[in-house]
């Protein structure tokens, strides 16, 4: 492990020792739905609609038979609700038809489902199936560049590869949540807390506050 990666791990352990996924869920079914719904919206707003959604549609089978207008009514306070309603019902049908009603545990199978891209697949693989992967969201993308882990021009996939090279495998799951927390609560897109940042010395962000 490099001195820099050790320093980042130590700083994150100290800032966010208990970082964890903030999408409320009780099982893999609820996790994948919550992650699909969280695209371009906050976890807080997703957590407001999922209790009612999961109560009415507690599993793949019930959701696969759902009326789209009813699902829209339940989730309409979140962004892209029409597309997301369509995707989660279609996803439930695909899981039922192609995977015997079980959420699959490989990237290829997960990415074959409606509404599931690489990021969503990685969140499910890591959190439900303990796979060593990191899902690159907007926070992780931003701070990986600011900390010089990834190139300034890197796309999400390139950031992901840079993170795998930079950090030891055994740290991925915890780091994934800690990096999100760091971006969400400390190194914010606007007004990052530079003056109180344990990573100030290694940060390469040209606009960090002096």
Interface residues with ligand SF4 (CB under 6 A) are 146-147, 186-187, 192-194, 197, 199-200, 203, 205, 208
101 versus 198: smaller Cβ distance to ligand SF4 = 198
Distance (Å) of CA 153 to CA 95, 131, 159, 165? 36, 27, 9, 17
12 versus 49: smaller Cβ distance to ligand SF4 = 12
- Contact status, residue 34 vs residue 73, Cβ threshold 8 Å: no
- Contact status, residue 134 vs residue 175, Cβ threshold 8 Å: yes
Catalytic residue annotation = 119, 137
CB of 17 to ligand SF4, least distance (A): 18
CB of 192 to ligand SF4, least distance (A): 4
Q: CB count, 10 Å around CB of 170?
A: 9
110 versus 149: smaller Cβ distance to ligand SF4 = 149
Any idea which residue has 């962004």 for tokens? 79
CB of 45 to ligand SF4, least distance (A): 25
Which of 91, 129, 92, 98 lies closest to 113 in space, CA to CA? Answer: 91
- Tally DSSP H helices, then E strands, for the chain: 11, 0
Distance (Å) of CA 115 to CA 50, 63, 71, 206? 17, 15, 15, 36
84 versus 177: smaller Cβ distance to ligand SF4 = 177
CB of 176 to ligand SF4, least distance (A): 17
């Amino acid at each position: 492990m490099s001195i820099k990666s050790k320093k980042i791990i130590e700083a994150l352990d100290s800032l966010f020792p208990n970082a964890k996924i903030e999408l409320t869920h009780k099982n893999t079914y609820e996790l994948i739905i919550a992650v699909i719904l969280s695209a371009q919206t906050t976890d807080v707003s997703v957590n407001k609609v999922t209790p009612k959604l999961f109560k009415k549609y507690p599993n793949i089978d019930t959701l696969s038979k759902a009326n789209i207008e009813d699902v829209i009514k339940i989730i309409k306070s979140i962004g892209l609700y029409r597309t997301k309603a369509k995707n989660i019902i279609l996803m439930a049908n695909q899981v039922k038809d192609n995977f015997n009603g079980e959420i699959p545990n490989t990237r290829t199978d997960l990415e074959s489902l409606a509404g599931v891209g690489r990021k969503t697949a990685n969140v499910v693989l890591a959190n439900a199936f303990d796979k060593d992967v990191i899902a690159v969201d907007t926070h992780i993308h931003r701070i990986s560049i600011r900390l010089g882990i990834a190139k300034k021009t890197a796309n999400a996939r390139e950031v992901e590869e840079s993170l795998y090279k930079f950090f030891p495998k055994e740290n991925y799951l915890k780091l994934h949540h800690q990096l999100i927390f760091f971006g969400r609560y400390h190194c914010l897109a606007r007004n990052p807390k530079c003056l109180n940042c344990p990573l100030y010395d290694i940060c390469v962000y040209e606009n960090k506050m002096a």
